[in-house]
Amino acid sequence: MSERATAQPTATERASGDVLAVESLSAWYGEARVLTDVSLAVQPGEVVTLVGRNGAGKTTLLRSIMGLHRHVEGTISWGGRELGKASPDARAKAGIGWVPDDRGIYASLSVAENLTLPPVVNKDAWTLEQVYEQFPVLHERRDFPGTKLSGGEQQMLAMARVLRMGSRLLLLDEPSEGLAPVIVQRIGEIIRQIKAQGVAVLLVEQNVKFASTVADRHYLLAQGRVVESLDNDAFQSRTTELLEYLGM
């Protein structure tokens, strides 16, 4: 219905800033309620994390923002427009970039094809040259099947893919999971670089230490509710307590 309406924000909306605002969002799987009354906001150039145990509803929240999880109530707006029933592809074209927890690399596409599959949705998107300059390994392996890359390289590819689209909001689902410390550090650098370009980042993370090195603010999610909202200083001073709370 409103598939087209959300596709391209107007210039004024762009100028007013690409803000993600989630208000009183609830989500269900069948009868089971997995998110209850979640409200949060992410400003351009801001990195915000969702911290919580497995099953707290973090991934469902990202999927709801992307339009992949449809059984929701409440509102999600992006760049001043309510997304309503907009399809996932309309949301992607409006500048929301998804980096799923399994990285979502296509085995049947080469590295280069994985990069160029999505449409470019913004004028200031990274060019393929820029991507290859930032990630030389992707250039080296451009003709390899996407899934022949190592876990860390696949994570880079998944992030590079949405940067080449020119997404203005990145939904990153556990980018550090299962990766070596060096790679995690590199991912942190990339996130800071994205942030410097004014892109908004909503990061799902269980690695509290990593979260505190990249994020401005944090939301604690437990049993589908936001139980606390902290700035990074408060978050860092309570790391031990939070780790215990998360059972890690």
Q: Using CB under 8 A, list all residues that contact other proteins.
A: 66-68, 87-89, 91-93, 98, 100, 102, 104, 106-109, 113, 116-119, 121, 161-162, 165
- Which CB sits closer to other proteins, 98 or 219? 98
Residue 27's DSSP bridge partners are: 35, 72
Shortest distance (Å) from residue 237 CB to other proteins: 37
Shortest distance (Å) from residue 92 CB to other proteins: 3
- Provide CB contacts within 8 A for 128, sequence distance 6+: 112, 115, 116, 164
Alpha carbons 128 and 207: distance in angstroms, whole number: 31
- Which CB sits closer to other proteins, 119 or 237? 119
Shortest distance (Å) from residue 83 CB to other proteins: 13
- Which CB sits closer to other proteins, 101 or 228? 101
- Which CB sits closer to other proteins, 106 or 245? 106
CA 173, distance to chain mean position in Å, is 6
Shortest distance (Å) from residue 134 CB to other proteins: 19
Shortest distance (Å) from residue 28 CB to other proteins: 17
- Which CB sits closer to other proteins, 108 or 240? 108
- Which CB sits closer to other proteins, 96 or 215? 96
Shortest distance (Å) from residue 69 CB to other proteins: 11
- Which CB sits closer to other proteins, 164 or 218? 164
Shortest distance (Å) from residue 67 CB to other proteins: 8
How would you class 136 by CB atoms within 10 Å of its CB: exposed for 0-12, middle for 13-18, buried for 19 or more?
A: exposed
Label the pairing between strands 47-51 and 200-204.
parallel
